[in-house]
Structure 1
Amino acid sequence: MDGGHGGSGEAARGVVAVTTLLVTGFGPFPGWERNPTPAMVKAVAGLRLPGIRIVGQVFNTVYAEVARDLPALIARHRPDAILLFGLAGRTGHIRIEKHAHNVTSRRVPDASGVFHVSADIVAEGAWRVPTDFACGPLVARLRRSGLDARLSPSAGDYLCNFAYWLALEAVKRHQVKRALFVHVPLPLQAGRSARGAFSRRMTADDLAEAAVGAALAITGRGYLAKPVRRPRAQSARP
């Protein structure tokens, strides 16, 4: 299990202070009218972590809006960390994404029916950008809690990957200290969780727990056993 890239040990121990966390999800997109990530954003935004402000945002699954709104949110709120959630509907486990790739889908348009203007995100840019966050310890933590989490080498070629690329570029520009993308499966609409069996049977509550675990890890609060929830989630509009 990979421990991450340069600087990851420091990130895992929370040495780099996080005072503002931006957490994002997506709305529906073609072929997938149910998206569990807004509920995950709400679960994280409902936490009360001493000394940390949490800003939640759910994007429309539209290239132009993400390209406009994510940089605007970064400029307005100056987050130290960005935690992004997305749906991987054909995957049965939680994917902790190690890289964003410089590519966009030419097969599936966004929710407005539009493709990105080019096959690349950045012309003549690097073919991929890694996260500096320690992915391996987070995977191990989620698996110890009975959730089927695995490292993933690619966030795909759709809006999830696009948003992750923008977030990691902000890290490269020193606007943000670290960023992480978590892909999740579609949860059960009915039936019981199969926690510990590492099967496809995950519930919305399982995904909310995974979201909170990822938030505690990226903010360096991974050893807090019982975070306090606050009454209302804070939402942001760029």
Structure 2
Amino acid sequence: MAKVLITGFEPFAGESINTSWQVANALHHWQLDDEVSVVAQQLPCVFKQCLLSLEQAINQLKPAVVIMLGQAGGCAQLQLEKIASNYIDAHIADNAGQQPRNSLTASHGPAAYFSNLPLHASLNALQLQHIPAQLSLSAGSYVCNHSFYGLMHLIKNQYASIKGGFIHLPYLPEQVIHKPNTPSMALTTLISAVQIVIETSLQQRPDQLVT
């Protein structure tokens, strides 16, 4: 049976929950069909430890697809991340009190990697279901981007057969009760959205660049 690894982060920056883990955990053991099952893994919002946890999960599971989820407060749409940048500039400390500035994820790695998920096909599939989503060309410079780059670096060097990428999710409604005019999206919609990306990723080829 093919495995799909979905990761989400623990809460950070004073939040009591993290959208990404709420969605990932809801998909744990979800089966697309008799041939595909999903495993969810929570990652610490800590620069060093998140990559160690991610690599351990991939080594154990040997998934066909890895979809990492992160929380992007203030966004009104799913952000399908295209580019993982080899750059860290933490605007706040992580959950271990680390706040690296102007540094690299991989000292000898390339400046960036592209996701090898079929992002354009996923975007079309989401829009057909009237789920707000867009392609994003920056995953930021915090733990999310760091872990995304770490995933793509691992795929490049050890697991070339894996399709992998990152999606930023809006807040859940319960997170914005005391945040006026801050967008959110229902948990059921977010779960459906990630299910669509999973199915599309298993069925479609990665995006092909036009040269």
User: TM-score per shorter chain, which class?
Assistant: 0.7 to 0.9
Q: Does residue 155 of structure 2 align to residue 155 of structure 1? A: no
1:25–1:57: 8 Å Cα contact kept in structure 2? yes
Shift, 1:211, TM fit: 1.6
Q: Deviations over 1:61-94 (max 9, x none)?
A: 1112212111111111111210111000121111
Name 1:60's counterpart in structure 2: 44
Q: Deviations over 1:196-224 (max 9, x none)?
A: xxx94521111111121122122228xxx
Q: 1:117 to 1:218 in 2, by over 3 A?
A: same
After TM superposition, list the pairs within 5 Å mapping 1:193-212 onto structure 2: 200-212=183-195
Name 2:99's counterpart in structure 1: 115
TM, length-normalised to structure 1:
0.75
Amino acid at match of 1:207: L
Query: How many pairs does the alignment contain?
Result: 197
Match of 1:169 among 137, 153, 165: 153
TM, length-normalised to structure 2:
0.84
Percent of aligned pairs with the same residue?
A: 21
Q: Deviations over 1:44-70 (max 9, x none)?
A: 224223222322101121112212111
For structure 2, the residue ranges without an aligned partner over 5 or more in a row are 177-181, 205-211
For structure 1, the residue ranges without an aligned partner over 5 or more in a row are 1-17, 192-198, 222-238
Q: Does residue 160 of structure 2 align to residue 183 of structure 1? A: no
After TM superposition, list the pairs within 5 Å mapping 1:1-238 onto structure 2: 19-48=2-31, 49-116=33-100, 119-175=103-159, 176-189=161-174, 200-220=183-203
Q: Distance in 1 between matches of 2:92 and 2:134?
A: 25
Question: Higher RCO, 1 or 2 (CA under 8 Å, sep at least 6)?
Answer: 1
What is the RMSD computed on CA atoms of the aligned residues?
2.3
2:87–2:105: 8 Å Cα contact kept in structure 1? yes
Aligned to 1:45, the other structure's residue is in SS state coil
